[in-house]
Structure 1
Amino acid sequence: MMGRVTLRNLAAHKIRLVLTAVAVILGVAFVAGTLMFTDSMNKQFDDLFSSISEDIAVDVRAEKVVGGDDDGMSAQPVPASVLETLKGVDGVRDPIGNVTGYAAVVGKDGKIVGTPQNGPPQLGVNLTESAFYDLTSGRAPRGPAEVVIDEATAEHGELAIGDTTQVVTAGPPQRMKIVGLVDTGNMMGATVTAFDTPTAQRLLLKPGYFTDIEMKSAGPSEAELRDRVAAALPPGLEAITGTELREEAQSDVAEIMGFFRTFLLAFALISIFVGAFIIFNTFSMLVAQRTRELALLRAIGAARAQVTRAVIGEAVAVGVVGSTLGLAAGAGLASLLQTQMGDAGEGGLTLTANAVFWSYAVGIVVTVVSAYFPARRAAKIPPVAAMRDDVALPQRSMRIRIALGSLLTAIGAALIAVGLAGAGGNPAVPVGAGAFGVFIGVAMLAPVISVPVLRVLGAPAARLLGAPGRLARQNALRNPRRTAATAAALMIGLALITTVNVLGSTMRASIDEQINAQFGADYLVQAQGAGGVNAEAQQRVKDAPGVVAATPTYGGEVKVDGKDVFYVAGDARVITEAARLKIVSGSAAAGPADLMVDEDTAKDRGWEVGAAVPVQFPDGKTERLTLSGVYSRSDLIGPRLMSQEMHLRHTLNPTVDIMVVDTERADAATRTALESALQGYPNLEVADQASLKEDARGQVDGFVTFLTILLVMSVVIAAVGVINTLALSVIERTREIGLLRAIGISRRQLRRMIRLESIMIAVFGAVLGMGIGIAFGAALQNALADDGLGVLSVPYGTLVVYLAIAAVIGVLAALWPAWRAGRMDVLKAISTE
């Protein structure tokens, strides 16, 4: 019998439950889309690496001394003489030397094709018979003036076979003729520029060297051949099997995609969390409106458990339908994400059992859990209540709610403080748990907070708009629990968006302060991409009119006390002045075997000036450097500064990262002279203090915008919640609305009343959320003050815009409920029980 009751209730409340299902659909779509997208990308990478190295039995490369050298482009090279040695090893077939490095192609518009910064790699390679790409048109390059590029690069750069274009590498730009095109398959957006082997060695590595040497097997197993090859190798080189090579590549990608999946799923869970408030609110209102009906069921013999199961049954149905539609919407979202990946997203969509399982699990479980407490309240309705005209669900005391809400808020704040203080473990866990606790706690306290806040927010409407304004405020205050539950959904989304914007504004202000305090040079010349500033460009900078001095700086990675660490290398005196380093002890008069570190590093290591520091370089050699100076923290230089001589001694193919330029006068004419000197180098740019700030702000703004877009989903779900609550409230107040119409209130005034009520609820949620967001942002800034976020900045202008957007959300959310209320038949509304 109760099963039929459940089905009847579903049929009787289709619109209400459809609105509830929207929250489930949107939340599940985010989860399903994330899982399908990352599963698809993982499969594409797996297929790519399998196809690239499927014929490789053994690969020879330099031993990895420093962990960062596993990218194949900065690792120590393999002498070409090793290739001849390997040809004599029994079982080795077709050994081939590979050359890999940085190379980019300039398109017809004079700009580099691709995205050199924070984008897919721009690969320069030697064209070999075992290459992972196929020559589809033209021929292989022959000689130093010919090149082959991939088809996607040719299309994006509007280039064709026979064209002469500029190729940018670590050396001077080369004018080369395109003689062929290759199909790289799905290379995830990477560009490929291929030369013959001697040209590739000269431009990308060093004559007489390879990045690695791969070979096939003439019979022995991979492991057996690996051991034979390893026995013939000189010190400093290692042999690994093709299987190990593929597993390494897949493991690296899996780690990156795993982080990306966790990142997106965090936002999906936020959307689901917001949706749970809506589901809880909807079922609470449905139960409240059906109190007499449920009491009659109890009166005719239905047990409490049966009533509970009836309501839970409705929740399961909503969860199943919402999960199914959410899974379909997730496929669309995953496809959209793939299109944003450009060439990297052309491998098709992969649907796995993992995505299906978690979509239904999340959708159904969240819906059922959210509906459980309203279901229990429904079961507690006494049968005798069916005989009364004024049936109402009993309300719990606010004292328990206030006490529990305060406790959860305090515990949440404490967990956030522990996480931000870095008291061991993964800080994301206590911070996430703390934020969850704060949201739940504030949501429980919201009914108490709502009364004074809504009185203030509603005062202008009540005074200026007459009866509709007064009625709207009274309606919002009539049921503080419901109003708070509706506003809480919007509160969460806007709290997180506000936190992100406060953090972004703080980062911009802190970066500006750092550049003002630490940037002492007139100009910097830096490269876009991995090519660096080549020797010819360095000389042009030095010869530019008005330039007094131009000093190269380098970056590298070494091993200190068994840990991989980064450093900057160059003329210590010049860098000290350019970065306005404050010397705490020792001096900046660093010799070739000296090292300078910041205060934190010296303190953590227990080093003092004069200490001997063993440093192991990527070439495997170890030097004992003398600590010559300690300086205050510098975000521009970092914690370690080494001499240029030491860096060059252990780097086979050094790359200048930045040129520090001092001039007679830092004015427009000098900058124009520098830019003119570098006109033939499309990968180099001249930066001063203002442009550095602008670039930094652009990166921060992009990051903030990206996070805000991800959080908008939760705001959309919250808007659906406002619509749902108002629609159910209009149904609940049918008779009241009829009486208002009967005593003379017009349809226009009625719609205005509902719009104002919606605006008050939305603005209340926004005010609550932005208050929490500012507190979260201030806590983050305080915790990260020593890590570069020294200036707290609250973007009040942006927050005012968000408050206005919340009011607009309130207006839009009220359109349908207000329209429905205005169309009610007065007589039928009055006669409604």
Structure 2
Amino acid sequence: MFRTALRNVLAHKARLLMTVLAVMLGVAFVSGTLVFTNTISDAYQKSSAKGFGQVDVAIRPEGRKDAGDTIGKDPKLTQALLDKASKAPGAGSAIGVVNGFTAVAGKNGKLVGNGFQSQGGNYWGTEDPRYPLTSGHAPRGANEVAIDSRTAARAGYKVGDTVRLSVDGPVLTPTVAGVFTTDDGNVAAGGSLALFDTATAQRLFHRVGEFDEIDVKAAPGTSQTALRGALDQVVPKDVASTTTGRRLADDQATQIASAMSGMKTGLLVFAGIALFVGTFIIANTFTMLVAQRTKELALLRAVGASRRQVTRSVLVEAFFVGAVAAVTGLVAGIGIGAAMRSLMGTLGATVPDGPLVISPGTVATALLVGVLITMLAAWLPGRRAARIPPVAAMSSVHAQATTKSLVVRNALGALFAAAGVAVALYATTMSGSDGQAPMGLGAVLLIIGVFVLTPLLSRPLIAAAAPVLRIFGVSGKLARQNSVRNPRRTAATASALMIGLTLITGMTVMAGSLQKSIDKMASSAIKADYVVSMANGNSLSPDVAKTLSGLDGVTATSPLRNAPSRIDGETEYLTGVNGASIARLTDLKVDEGAFEVGGARVVVDKDTADSHHWKAGSGFTVAYEDGAKKRLTVAGVYEGNQMINGIILDAATLAPHQDDASDMQVMLKTSSGTSDATKARLEKALGDNPAIQVQDKKDISNGIAQMFTLLLNMLYGLLAMAVIVAVLGVINTLAMSVFERSQEIGMLRAIGLDRKGIKRMVRLESLVISLFGGVLGIGLGVFFGWAAGELVGSRMATYELVLPWARMALFLLLAATVGVLAALWPARRAARLNMLTAIKSE
């Protein structure tokens, strides 16, 4: 039986090629994802480990100890503590570390580095061992800065040049005093690092007289553990904690692995989808191969082979096919992983240097996935073939599906589909994350149900295309009949395309609806002409609001300033605004009371008011972040949204209780309204700072659209794998169908149907099957998009369903294109059959 199975594999090389390709693509995606994420993770981990080379023990603030960790004074790392640490037994040297966001502009005025990876810090003394200088000298005073060599090379800076940079808003123009090298992981990943002298860094990062961390280097002969023990004796437990450099490197490696796991999971999901779609093709292929060898298998049964041996022979075939596909998929996956890494560099996302990582786990996973998927998909066709009685099979009486089996199948499909719809509808009545699990379960049940029902659905849906097919005469009529001749095969072929289009359509509906809803929220909640914020989401200096309010033509400004507080034992965030102008800059619906902010009078969003049982006129006591308490009064209750919500009070009331005030954003209104000239004037007043963005409502909308477009394009690219696999499935099904119907095609040629007619028949059959899958996929995608939208809408008052008709028409056109392209080779093959040879074939 083993030799028979091996012979069958070698005898049907052409027929099994598409199956190998389908499995190979899925395996390549899985192995490529693992190679890519492992390579990136390993490079970051090694880079971060180098970054801790000068740290044997780090001293860090212990953090606040009161309830909620939001109120009261932070413990401080002072110069006195640094002096103590440097004199501890076993300590060789100690460095005080100050760091924070610093945006460096290139000579073209654009931001160098990647947003949050644009960092700043302090250069310790005249020779900082962390940052060896390659040219120049250590920065001295407020007008000098040192920058890393990668940033200097990218931006074209050298010692003596003037560089434009920003810490929290205002533009600084120091001179480049020195250029240094660093093993910092952020710089290796494409970020930038700017260093000031310690006093300047403390002032810029609001740490005057303080440090963010103290790094201690051990004296020769002292271990990290021994040094940590000595430091624990001199560092107050309620002020700071100590950690060894080895532990810091391990923790950062764990964080990097955790961060990469999200990307890995997302990519593997799409690889799983491709494999899932490929499973249909494999099952379809083996079903047809087994059906074509019914007499052969029956003969094996007649000469003594048992059912198990027949099933086993099919599984052995599947094993060889899966093994070949897995090995080629692994090789292709290694290439994909390398290409993805190079692509990141092309897109500007620099990755630390390091070798391509091909772990034993990746190899094992690729081989296991390829072989198991193929064997599982082939098991059912093999088992079905073994159950055909030898006499019936040898007499060409094929075991057709009985009425009972079809009734059972349709009943099960209807049950699954109904359960899926019911669970999905139930999930829409839930709120937020509570409904995610039921929604996912409903989606799986519904897809399974529709897949089981596709043979039943194929007849009426394909029959609907009959009027159009009649235009093509005999070829069209034959195409329709061929499409419904074997509903199970048609269903399995169409289902592969259906799944891909379901996901694409559902995501497109969701993205379009969310974009529209956020646009609506922005236009309905904000009356301001412009919103000013940091491009990376960091806080703005209060100086930005002062600069804007003093400009000619600016009629109203207000910062939005966040601060933690404690109310009734719970943490609540306060939003400080300009009480005199906030009503002119926002348009929030007031449910009760009045929108009045000033002194002790505040306004509260409805959700917060309900949670505390407040109404207009209610009073409550707030504990500010410095521990001070004050009685406030609710002047009004408004309807909040994702952009503006919570407790809003006057910034003047909040300011005395903040050590370092900073703004999330600044809203402003101008006498001239929005225009390119006004925007340019505002940007110039802020120093043409690359780290600050000035946006009107249109800019906000375009930013949202760009984000969704980028996300969708990435998803389309990933889901293209599933569509490619689906194309292979259609080609495979048609090619085998042509082989199966050789005698019939020969008869058609003999009675007068020419080669063009044969080609047209096969192409129309492919087109009908593809459009059938496309219609099902788009219909399911719209339902899932609507259901998921209802779930999101429970937390977004402005949510409304948007059906992207143009894109759905494009998806249907894509399905039709798949059908036309997939039919090219099978149609050509059918037309070139020798009619006499075909008629004599069995």
Asked if Structure 1 and Structure 2 have the same fold, meaning a TM-score greater than 0.5 normalized by the shorter chain, the answer is yes
The equivalent residue for 2:689 is 681
Structure 1 counterpart of 2:17, which letter? V
> Distance in 2 between the 1:307 and 1:190 partners?
61
- The secondary structure found in structure 1 opposite 2:120 is strand
Amino acid at match of 1:819: R
Report the counterpart of residue 24 of structure 1 in structure 2: 23
Summarize deviations over 1:251-300 as a string: whole Å, max 9, x none: 43333222222222222221111111111111111111111111111111
Q: Tell me what 2:467 maps to.
A: 459
Tell me the equivalent position of 1:304: 307
Q: Residues 414 and 14 of structure 1: is their aligned pair in 2 closer, same or farther, counting only changes over 3 Å?
A: same
What SS class does the counterpart of residue 165 from structure 1 fall into? coil
The one of 290, 297, 307 aligned to 1:294: 297
- More off after superposition, 762-771 vs 429-438: 429-438
Give the C-alpha shift of residue 596 in structure 1.
4.8
Contact 2:498 2:774 in 1 (8 A): yes
Q: 2:803 aligns with which of 766, 777, 794?
A: 794
Aligned twin of 2:240: 238
C-alpha change, 1:387 and 1:658, in structure 2 (3 Å) is closer
CA contact (8 A) 1:76 1:211 kept: no
CA contact (8 A) 1:554 1:568 kept: yes
Closer/same/farther in 2, CA of residues 557 and 245 from structure 1, 3 Å limit? farther
CA distance, structure 2, for counterparts of residue 765 and residue 829 of structure 1: 31
Q: Alignment partner of 1:495: what SS? A: helix
Of 740, 744, 749 in structure 1, the residue corresponding to residue 748 of structure 2 is 740
Distance 1:469 1:540, change over 3 A: same
Q: How does 1:378-777 map to 2 (within 5 A)?
A: 378-395=385-402, 397-417=405-425, 429-460=437-468, 462-529=469-536, 532-556=539-563, 568-572=575-579, 574-585=581-592, 587-590=594-597, 596-606=603-613, 610=618, 612=620, 617=625, 621=627, 623=629, 626=632, 628=634, 629-645=636-652, 648-649=655-656, 651-668=658-675, 670-777=678-785
Write the mapping of 1:32-47 to structure 2, written as runs, cut at 5 A.
32-47=31-46
Residue 746 of structure 2 aligns to which amino acid in structure 1? Answer: G
CA RMSD of aligned residues (A): 3.0
* Secondary structure in structure 2 of the residue aligned to 1:109: coil
8 Å CA contact 1:102, 1:530 repeated in 2: no
* Distance in structure 2 (CA, Å) of the matches to 1:497 and 1:428: 19
- Asked whether the equivalents of residues 147 and 195 of structure 1 are also in contact (C-alpha less than 8 Å), the reply is yes
Partner deviation per Cα, 1:628-672 (whole Å, 9 max, x = no partner):
353212221133435434654454443323111122241435445
**Cα separation, partners in 2 of 1:574 and 1:312, compared to 1, 3 Å:** farther
2:182 maps to 184
Match of 1:785 among 789, 793, 802: 793
Verify the 8 A CA contact 2:35 2:362 in the aligned structure 1: yes
Contact 1:292 / 1:391 at 8 angstroms: preserved in 2? no
| Residues 642 and 310 (structure 1), Cα distance of their counterparts in 2 relative to 1, 3 Å cut | farther
Contact 1:100–1:205, Cα closer than 8 Å, also in 2? no
1:698-717 residue CA offsets vs partner (Å, 9 max, x unmatched): 11222222222222211111
Q: Which of 123, 136, 153 is the aligned partner of 2:119?
A: 123
Post-superposition CA distance 1:558-615 (Å, at most 9, x none): 6778877655332355445423223335554445667654222333455556454665
Q: What is the letter of the counterpart of residue 825 of structure 2?
A: W
After TM superposition, the structure 1 stretch with the greater mean CA deviation from structure 2, 736-745 or 43-52, is: 43-52
TM-score by length of 1: 0.92
For residues 333 and 655 of structure 1, do their structure 2 counterparts lie closer, same or farther at Cα, with a shift above 3 Å needed? farther
Q: CA deviation at 1:786?
A: 2.3
Q: Which residue of 2 aligns with 1:62?
A: 61
- More deviation, 254-263/477-486: 254-263
Tell which deviates more after alignment, 361-370 or 721-730: 361-370
Q: Which amino acid aligns with 1:503?
A: M
Distance 1:573 1:781, change over 3 A: farther
Q: What CA deviation, in whole Å up to 9, does each residue of 1:380-414 have, x standing for no partner? A: 01110244145455556321111101111223334
Counterpart Cα distance in 2 of 1:38 and 1:557 = 37
Q: Distance in 1 between matches of 2:5 and 2:22?
A: 21
Question: What is the one-letter code of the residue matched to 2:112?
Answer: V
Q: Is the 8 A contact 2:674 2:696 kept in 1?
A: no
For residue 495 of structure 1, report the CA deviation from its aligned partner. 0.2
Report deviation, 1:376: 0.7
| Distance (whole Å) between structure 2 residues aligned to residue 760 and residue 614 of structure 1 | 68
TM-score normalised over the length of structure 2 = 0.91
SS at match of 2:164: strand
Structure 2 spans left out of the alignment, 5+ residues: none
Shift of the 389–247 alpha-carbon distance from structure 1 to 2, 3 Å rule, reads closer
Matches of 1:563 and 1:479, distance apart in 2: 65
* Secondary structure in structure 1 of the residue aligned to 2:174: strand
Q: Bigger CA drift: 138-147 or 521-530? A: 138-147
- Find the aligned partners of 2:82 and 2:806 in 1 and give their Cα distance: 65
* C-alpha distance in 1 between matches for 2:578 and 2:841: 87
Q: Cα distance, 1:813 vs. partner?
A: 0.8
What residue in structure 1 maps to residue 835 of structure 2?
Answer: 826
The aligned residue for residue 202 of structure 1 is: 203
- CA shift for structure 1 position 491: 0.3
**Letter of the structure 2 residue corresponding to residue 23 of structure 1:** A
CA distance in structure 2 between the aligned counterparts of 1:434 and 1:384, rounded to whole angstroms: 45
3-state SS, counterpart of residue 93 of structure 1? strand
Cα distance change, pair 52–614 in 1 and its aligned pair in 2 (3 A): farther
- Check 1:627–1:261 CA distance in 2 against 1; reply closer, same or farther (3 A cut): farther
Q: Sort the Cα spacing of 1:468 and 1:556 in 2 relative to 1 into closer, same or farther, 3 A.
A: farther
818-827 or 425-434, which deviates more: 425-434
Alignment of 1:134-149 (within 5 A): 134-149=132-147
Contact 1:28–1:326, Cα closer than 8 Å, also in 2? yes
Partners of 2:144 and 2:177 within 8 A in 1 = yes
SS in 1 for 2:662: coil
Deviations 1:320-361 (A, max 9, x none): 111112222222222232223331254332122222222222
CA distance in structure 2 between the partners assigned to 1:542 and 1:406 by the alignment: 65
Deviation at 1:374, TM superposition (A): 0.6
Given that 1:377 and 1:393 are in contact with CA atoms closer than 8 Å, whether structure 2 keeps it comes out as: no
Q: Secondary structure at the match of 1:526?
A: strand
2:360 to 353, 378, 381: 353
State the AA in 2 paired with 1:153: T
CA distance in 2, matches of 1:479, 1:174: 74
Moved more, 76-85 or 187-196: 76-85
How far did 1:797 drift? 0.6
- Give a deviation string over 1:205-243, Cα, whole Å, max 9, x none: 343222211112346665564465455446863122124
Shift of 1:90: 3.4
Letter in 2 for 1:759: L
1:364 equivalent to 2:371? Answer yes
- Partner residue of 2:380? 373
Verify the 8 A CA contact 1:552 1:657 in the aligned structure 2.
yes
Q: Output the amino acid matched with 2:301.
A: R
Moved more, 676-685 or 257-266: 676-685
Give the 3-state SS of the residue equivalent to 1:792 in structure 2.
coil
In structure 2, give the amino acid aligned to 1:257.
M
The answer (yes or no) to whether the contact 1:134–1:183 under 8 Å persists in 2 is yes
1:780-813 CA distances to partner (integer Å, 9 max, x unpaired)?
A: 1111112226201110110001111111111111
Specify every segment of 5 or more residues in structure 1 that has no aligned partner in the other structure, as ranges: none
Residues 240 and 777 of structure 1: CA distance in aligned 2, closer, same or farther (over 3 Å): same
Asked if structure 2 preserves the Cα contact closer than 8 Å seen for 1:76 and 1:652, the reply is: no
Determine what percentage of the aligned residue pairs are the same residue.
38
Give the AA of the match of 1:319. G
**CA distance in structure 2 between the aligned counterparts of 1:600 and 1:456, rounded to whole angstroms:** 51
Equivalent of 2:148 in 142, 145, 150: 150
Q: CA deviation at 1:424?
A: 10
Distance 1:367 1:90, change over 3 A: same
After the TM superposition, which of the residue ranges 769-778 and 626-635 deviates more from structure 2?
626-635
